[in-house]
Every structure is written in structure tokens, then in C-alpha cells.
Chains A and B, each alone.
Chain A
């Protein structure tokens, strides 16, 4: 019995190899992709072990001595790190709250527009900022917020006399960073919702119309329930993004005056790791934050699953 089994395993391996050899052409097509993933994805994942080592410029990644949780212990008393955590959460909370609700509302409003050319124009205009880089947007933003820029001129028009350069004001930074992101992404955020809504059976609306349901009632009782799975997916992604920070945006908008409110986790890792050369500590910070994000993702997924009659969206 055992013998037969063994032989069949041997035969199976042989068969498998023969089949592999027969499709060598297809295998040569996959191979470069696998190599690319191993080099550019898996080696850096292995490199996360730096967080538990003490890396100096003279050592290689493999020869650096292990130090256990030493790097993580330093994090606990690092005042600048906790400041960056505060800024990250502050900016993300404002940003994610607005970016969760606004696209749902805008998508419904775009969907209800009856005149197709107007609908197209609104979509074309509002999707555009998504495709601009943060460097371009940052440059624009600095211009709008400067002492004689667009914002101050509009404020002057409505009777508020101000000559401030708002980007230098640390207290407005959270608002500037989060709202500019909303401005960039709110339009694009509607696209998944619109794709979902276009698949809703129009007879639902006809039936509701016959029963005398108002527009708002139809939206509440048909459109929103039909979108519930995509809404919960976005909710999960939003909550787990609480610790994510936008390095592009921060590097463009941060200056010596707003830095206390502008430094986020990513830019802190960048500064400590690449500017100051403390590779191990910066890796530990990055790894710690990723772990928290994964935990948040799992928690929100479990909660939404409970709320959604045990249907997981992930």
C-alpha cells in the first residue's frame, strides 16, 4: 500500500516535470516576471529584518548584528515620532471622513443629472486633478495660498482683509493638506460608484415612481442599498488608511515654519533613514506602522462583516 503510494508520487513528479518541459515556451514567458518579483518585492520584504538588527554603513544587510526589539524600544520614547503620528492621524482623519462621504453624494448627484453632455462635462472636469502629480498640485496650491494669491483676493472681495501666506501657517496645515487631497480625489472617487449605479435595474426606479416615491426616497431606498457592498469596501479601506501618509504631498508642502504640524510618519522615516542614515531605526518605524495598519484592516473587516450579515467584502 505504502509502496504503491510512493511510486505514484514519483510518477506524479515525473509527469509534472514532463508537462513543465512540454510548456517550456510558456514557462519562459513567466520567468522574467517571477525574477522581477523576487528581486524588487521579496528581497525588500526580507530586508525588513533590518528592524531587528543594528545596521551601520560598513556592514552588509546579512552581517549586521541582531539586536532584538532594541529599535522598537527607542520608538516608545521618541518625541518626534509621536508628533508625526499625531499629524498623520489628524490629517488622515479629516481627509478620510470627507473622502468617504463626499464621493457617494457626488456620484448620486452626477447619476441623477439628466442632460448627458452636461454630465460628461462635469465628469471630465472633476476627474482631471486625479491625474496631476502632487508636485504640480503643490506648486499650484502654494500660489493660491500666497500673500497675493487667489485665496486672499477672494477673501478681500468678501471683505476680509488678509495678507497672510497661508502655507507658512502651521495651524492651518492639517486643513490645507486634507482639503487639497479632497479637491484632488473627490471627483475620481465617484467612478466606482457610478459604475455600480449604472448596473442597477431601471425598472426598480420605474416601480418606485409609480408608487409615488420622491427622488430622495428613491435614492435612499434603491440606490444606496444597491451600492452597500462597494460602500463597505471603501469604508474598510478608509479606516485602514488612517496611518497612511502622503510623502509626495508632504515633501512639497512642508517648510521650516509648518514642519511641527506637517511632519508625517512617512516623511519622518525618510528624514531619519535617508537623510540621517539611521536605517535600522527607520525600518523599525515603517514596519511598526504597517503592522498597525494590517491590524486595523482586519478589525474593520470583521466589524463590517458582522454588520453585513457575515458577508465579507474582502
Chain B
């Protein structure tokens, strides 16, 4: 009796104490997470807002003394930026279309468990995930294929990815067979079934792969750096890289502000960064819908 009373008495007290501890935890948690978000957002905000500061670009933290779009006018008055923008958009759009087409037809065929040779094909794919020839053998291959300084070097080597194919294949397997069978009875070919039944039902999976590959295409500069020397084929990322590296070379060789005519001004650099980043920011809300599926992709795309 006394025992029960004691526990009854103690329990609520312990609980009050606990929830107070939990409240402290929650408050600290919210503060730390706010700090974390600020550490990410403030530097980016700094760059975006700096690009609107005219000549004083990069010299303050939160807000410029006067807002000007002079830097953007200078960026867009250069014809090469339009050329690069065209290349960037073209390689992204064409790249995504080719990538989706190739990965999804292979995925559809491999989603059929009775496909002859399926084990061999999968084994080959798994090898490509773990082994690669590396930079130099790949360079020599691209060279002997005549793809150096060709637009197709952006598209063809990245056209097939076993990993993306597996994600699509798993999605296709979840589509009920009964949908295909009725079409097959009506005499539709595999290609016909693929285009008129499978593709319309797989929009979310195709969108995931398409968006992540699109981001990769837009951001990729290594392909240009390795295989392209013709400036007419430079995408925005490569143009930006050249601007940054030139300015850096000037700074590290001790030629500072005095000789700044030869290098691109800080303001123009920042405006170019913002222009290059903008499409990603626009796509970002769409990307968010597919984050979890995309995780698997992100890990491999690195």
C-alpha cells in the first residue's frame, strides 16, 4: 500500500522533470538547427547580393549600399556568354533525352525475368559500377573515337548508366503484368507496349532520373576540361572556370588591383556565378519531390 502510494507520488514528479529536460532539448535543437541553416544560407546570400553591388562587389556581408545591375549588363553584353548558355542548355536537354531513352529501353527489357542472357547483361553492368579505366585510358578512347572537340562528347559517354537503369527497372517491375498482357493479346509489339503503356505509367521514375541527370549535365565541367579546347563548345561552367582561374592566377602571381583590366572584375565574376547557378535554383523545387529516390543516384553520380 505504502509502496504503491510512493510510486504514484513519484511518477508524476519524475515525468514533470523529464518533460522539462525534453523541452530544453527541443529548444537547444531548434537553436542549433537555425544556426546550421544560417551557416549554409548566409554565404550564398552574400554572393547573390554582392553581384548587385556594382563596383563594390564582394566588400560587405548582408546588404549593399546601393543596388545596381551594372555587373549583369556587362556579363550579358559579351556574346560568348550567350554562346555558352546555348551549349549548356543544348547539352542538358539532348543529354537528358538520350539518357532517358537508352536507360529506359534497356530497363524495360531487363525487367522481364525470362529475358535470355539477363544474367550476363547484369554481370556486365555490375562490373561497370565497380571498375573503371580511369582518366587516361578514357581520354585515349575518346580521342580515337574522334570525339575530341565534338558536341557529342557531352552526350554519348554519359548516355548509359547501369545504376539509373536499375532504378528504372525496379520501377517497371512494379507495374502489374495484366496491363501489358491485354495489349499483347491485341497483337501489340514490345516496343509498342513500352511506348504506349510503360512510359505513361512511369512518369515519376523518369522525372527523377531525368532531373538528376539534367543537374549533372548542367554542372559537369570535367568533360569540357578533358576533351574540349574549342571555345565555341564551352558550356557556362567552363566559361566560369576560365574566369575564376584567370583571376586566381593573377592574384597568386602578385598582380593585384593595379592590373585588373586584364582579368575579369570581381563583380562580373559574381554575376556569372549567379547566372550559372540560376537554372539549378529554378529546378530545385521540382527536384525536392524526388529527393529520396534521388539519394541512390546522388551517391553514384559523384
Taking each of A29, A45, A128, A279, which has the highest tally of chain B beta carbons within 10 Å of its own beta carbon?
A29
* A127 interfacial contact with B, CB 8 Å: yes
B124 contacts which of A27, A34, A286 (Cβ < 8 Å)?
A: A34
Pick from B74-82, B173-181, B200-208, B239-247 the stretch touching chain A: B239-247
A251–B251 Cα gap in the complex (Å)?
A: 16
* A70 interfacial contact with B, CB 8 Å: no
A133–B30 Cα gap in the complex (Å)?
A: 29
Residue of A nearest to B51 (CB): A143
* B41 interfacial contact with A, CB 8 Å: yes
Whether the Cβ atoms of A61 and B140 lie closer than 8 Å is yes
A140 contacts which of B18, B47, B132 (Cβ < 8 Å)?
A: B47
Known: A29-B109, A283-B136. Contact between A37 and B159, CB under 8 A? Answer: no
B121 contacts which of A20, A34, A110, A153 (Cβ < 8 Å)?
A: A34
* B146 interfacial contact with A, CB 8 Å: no
Q: Mark B260-302, 1 if CB is under 8 A from A, else 0.
A: 0000001001101100110010001001100110010010000
A258–B156 Cα gap in the complex (Å)?
A: 36
Known: A19-B116, A41-B128, A44-B138. Contact between A136 and B252, CB under 8 A? Answer: no
CB within 8 Å of B: which A1-57 residues: 16, 19-20, 23, 25-27, 29-30, 32-34, 36-37, 39-48, 50
- Give, as a whole number of angstroms, the nearest-CB distance from A262 to chain B: 11
Residue of A nearest to B59 (CB): A148
* B52 interfacial contact with A, CB 8 Å: no
Residue of A nearest to B43 (CB): A144
CB within 8 Å of B: which A59-81 residues: 61
Could you tell me which B residues sit within 8 Å of A by CB distance?
A: 14-15, 18, 21-22, 25-26, 29-30, 32-34, 36-37, 39-41, 43-44, 46-47, 50, 58-61, 102-103, 105-106, 108-110, 112, 114-117, 121, 124-125, 127-128, 131-141, 144-145, 156-157, 159-160, 162, 165, 189-191, 194, 215, 218-222, 225-226, 237, 240-241, 243-245, 247-249, 251-253, 266, 269-270, 272-273, 276-277, 280, 284, 287-288, 291-292, 295, 298
Residue of A nearest to B115 (CB): A26
In the assembled complex, which residues on chain B have CB atoms less than 8 Å from the CB atom of A215? 21-22, 25
Known: A110-B33, A279-B140, A283-B136. Contact between A252 and B25, CB under 8 A? Answer: no
Could you tell me which A residues sit within 8 Å of B by CB distance?
A: 16, 19-20, 23, 25-27, 29-30, 32-34, 36-37, 39-48, 50, 61, 106, 109-110, 112-114, 118, 121-122, 124-133, 135-136, 138-140, 142-144, 146, 148-150, 153-154, 165, 167-168, 183, 187-188, 191-192, 195, 212, 214-216, 247-248, 251-252, 255-258, 266, 269-270, 273-274, 279, 282-283, 286-287, 290
Whether the Cβ atoms of A48 and B137 lie closer than 8 Å is yes
- Give, as a whole number of angstroms, the nearest-CB distance from B257 to chain A: 10
- Give, as a whole number of angstroms, the nearest-CB distance from A114 to chain B: 7
A274–B21 Cα gap in the complex (Å)?
A: 60
B135 contacts which of A42, A256, A274 (Cβ < 8 Å)?
A: A274
Known: A125-B41, A215-B22, A279-B136. Contact between A47 and B141, CB under 8 A? Answer: yes
A215–B29 Cα gap in the complex (Å)?
A: 11
A149–B57 Cα gap in the complex (Å)?
A: 9
- The B interface is mostly helix, strand or loop, or mixed, namely helix
In the assembled complex, which residues on chain A have CB atoms less than 8 Å from the CB atom of B43? 140, 144, 150, 183
A150–B225 Cα gap in the complex (Å)?
A: 30
Whether the Cβ atoms of A255 and B244 lie closer than 8 Å is no
Whether the Cβ atoms of A37 and B240 lie closer than 8 Å is no
A187 contacts which of B14, B40, B288 (Cβ < 8 Å)?
A: B40
Taking each of A183, A195, A273, which has the highest tally of chain B beta carbons within 10 Å of its own beta carbon?
A273
In the assembled complex, which residues on chain B have CB atoms less than 8 Å from the CB atom of A149? 58
Whether the Cβ atoms of B291 and A214 lie closer than 8 Å is no
In the assembled complex, which residues on chain B have CB atoms less than 8 Å from the CB atom of A23? 112, 114-116, 190
A214–B21 Cα gap in the complex (Å)?
A: 7
A37–B162 Cα gap in the complex (Å)?
A: 9
A243–B132 Cα gap in the complex (Å)?
A: 16
